[in-house]
Amino acid sequence: MGYFDYSREPKSDIAFVDMKSFYASVECVKRGLHPLKTSLCVMSRADNSTGLILASSPMFKKIFGKSNVGRAYDLPFDIKTRKFSYYNARKQGLPTDSDYVRYIEDWAQVTLIVPPRMDEYIAVNMEIQRIFQNYGSPDDIYPYSIDEGFIDLTSSLNYFIPDKSLFRKDKLDLLSARIQRDIWRQTGIYSTVGMSNANPLLAKLALDNEAKHTPTMRANWSYKDVEEKVWAIPKMTDFWGIGRRMEKRLNALGIFSIKELAISNPDQLQKVLGQAGLRLWFHANGIDESNVHKPYKAKSQGLGNSQILPRDYVKLRDIEIILREMAEQVAIRLRRAGKKTTLVSLYVGFSKQEVRSSIHTQMKVEPTNNTAILTDHVLKLFHNKYTSGAVRSVGVNYSGFVDESFGLISLFDDVDKLEKEERLQTAIDAIREQFGFTSLLKANALEEASRSLARSKLIGGHSAGGLDGLK
């Protein structure tokens, strides 16, 4: 390896713990069922043929070949009758012979389809966090999401496993196994652990690319494994930080593998892709500047909210109601963050029945976090691009942030009016903060098209407008 002397790189003993099929496992355990042997699917709008699959058990995935994200109509059986769907099978190129039909229908009959219960998942997550704290201080723990997180065990290894004859790699494996055991004994949830005696990046790569396929559900990737394991990751999109879009940009530079990325010219990558390109080059060589105490955070891409609507929205007024609600909801988050936006973006996706491309549009604006102004911008973007068609998904995003204190006042602005609007907005935010989002709603929240009330009853990432669990 010509670029790096790994002996000079920082070394930490990291465990990255991921709960296996977390939502689905919680639902199985709550019903006294084995989470690895039960066919169960967590589905939003579980009584609807267009229900969204949020999570599924390993057995469900094995039988029906479906990942966590999909629709009820993509399944090879009808969720109401549990009968084989020849239409869906032919559309997906699945067999339709009698043995396969019987196989699918038999499993469909015993498959559980349940609605999400975020409060239950959060409660179990809190139990798991307490287990983590048995092995490391709060400063040594970095929750990555509701079902996974990093633990820096550097200072804990010798305390829990004092045997001086063991290498740190062996100690890390033994301690990670204890954590897995404790999680299972207390919650019934199986967990997978990516480990590294180097840095968090390699622990994450070990989890995603090896641990999930081992009998122990643990794997360790450290500096010595970079050439043999990191460079051998088969798909570029299996590498942390590379999505389909970035993969295409790398392909355009003649880079088609992680190894080619690692041995490419970093100056060229930075020139074409900016800091993201340089960071990926370091990562491809196993170098990670982040740590659990000060984890790397990508620059904010903005604040936004997107949602898939419960039905096709055809009426212009109904679509406008949704856009107004989303513009306001994201504006509230913007004010909570103490920021103003200079760039407003809008996404509109059409029904499957519509043969047309989705709308992606944006506009630069004067710095603002005012709900009324932002709503006007969002509606303007919509009216400039939308002509007709049934809408099924929408998204609003604000970015290009400046501090809230930043403001531009034109000679033509009514200063008194602006101050009055700001005071009113502040008062509304304060009331909602104390009594909940639904304590003050516009009259159109009572209309059939509105989604404010329905989404406010959900928790966490499924809350109204992504407002982090509105009261």
- Structure confidence by residue, pLDDT tens digits, 442-463: 545 545 555 554 545 444 444 4
- Nearest-angstrom CA–CA distance, 113 and 404: 45
Q: What is the CA radius of gyration of the chain?
A: 25
Comparing 173-187, 288-302, 311-325, 456-470, the range with the smallest average pLDDT is 456-470
Is the pLDDT confidence value at 353 over 90? no
Chain-centroid distance, C-alpha 305: 13
Contact 402, 339 (CB under 8 A): yes
Please provide the DSSP assignment of 103-146 as one string. HHHHHHHH-EEE---HHHHHHHHHHHHHHHTTTS-GGGEEEEET
- Nearest-angstrom CA–CA distance, 143 and 205: 17
Is residue 53 exposed (0-12), middle (13-18) or buried (19+ Cβ within 10 Å)? buried
Amino acid at the residue 425: Q
105 is catalytic: no
Is the pLDDT confidence value at 143 over 70? yes
Is the pLDDT confidence value at 417 over 50? yes
What is the predicted pLDDT for the residue at 3? 67
Is the pLDDT confidence value at 436 over 70? no
**Among 9, 105, 120, 148, which one carries the catalytic annotation?**
148
- In tens, the pLDDT along 244-287 reads 899 999 999 999 999 999 999 998 998 899 888 999 999 999 99
Number of H helices, E strands in the chain: 16, 14
What is the predicted pLDDT for the residue at 247? 94
Contact 296, 304 (CB under 8 A): no
Q: Is 398 left (phi over 0), alpha (psi -120 to 50) or beta?
A: beta
Contact 286, 278 (CB under 8 A): no
What CATH fold (topology level) applies to the domain 303-466?
Dna Ligase; domain 1 (3.30.1490)
- Nearest-angstrom CA–CA distance, 204 and 201: 5
Give the contacts of 374 (CB within 8 A, at least 6 positions apart).
327, 328, 330, 331, 334, 341, 344, 368, 398
- Nearest-angstrom CA–CA distance, 400 and 406: 13
The secondary structure element, H or E, covering residue 44 is strand 40-44
What single DSSP character describes residue 81? T
Q: Is the dihedral of CA 152, 158, 161, 164 positive or negative?
A: positive
Is residue 370 exposed (0-12), middle (13-18) or buried (19+ Cβ within 10 Å)? middle
Q: Which is nearest to 196 in space by CA: 139, 158, 154?
A: 154
What single DSSP character describes residue 84? B
Q: Are strands 112-114 and 40-44 parallel, antiparallel or unpaired?
A: parallel
Domain boundaries, the chain: 22-114, 236-284, 303-466
Between residues 50 and 36, which one has the greater pLDDT? 36
Q: State the CATH class of domain 236-284.
A: mainly alpha
What is the predicted pLDDT for the residue at 422? 60
Task: List the alpha helices (DSSP H) in 41-194.
Answer: 58-64, 86-91, 98-110, 118-132, 157-160, 168-187
Mean of pLDDT values over 305-329: 89
What is the predicted pLDDT for the residue at 292? 72
- In tens, the pLDDT along 201-217 reads 999 999 999 999 999 99
Q: What is the 3-state secondary structure (H, E, C) of 390-414?
A: CEEEEEEEEECCEECCCCCCCCCCC
- Which band of pLDDT confidence, cut at 50, 70 and 90, is reported for residue 465? very low
Q: Which is nearest to 76 in space by CA: 62, 91, 57, 59?
A: 91
What is the predicted pLDDT for the residue at 412? 43
Between residues 355 and 205, which one has the greater pLDDT? 205
What is the predicted pLDDT for the residue at 139? 87
Residue 242 token pair: 């590379």
Residue 442 token pair: 């516009």
Q: Are strands 339-350 and 391-399 parallel, antiparallel or unpaired?
A: antiparallel
- In tens, the pLDDT along 9-26 reads 889 999 999 999 999 999
Between residues 78 and 175, which one has the greater pLDDT? 175
- Nearest-angstrom CA–CA distance, 236 and 251: 10
What is the predicted pLDDT for the residue at 435? 56
- Nearest-angstrom CA–CA distance, 271 and 190: 44
What is the predicted pLDDT for the residue at 458? 47
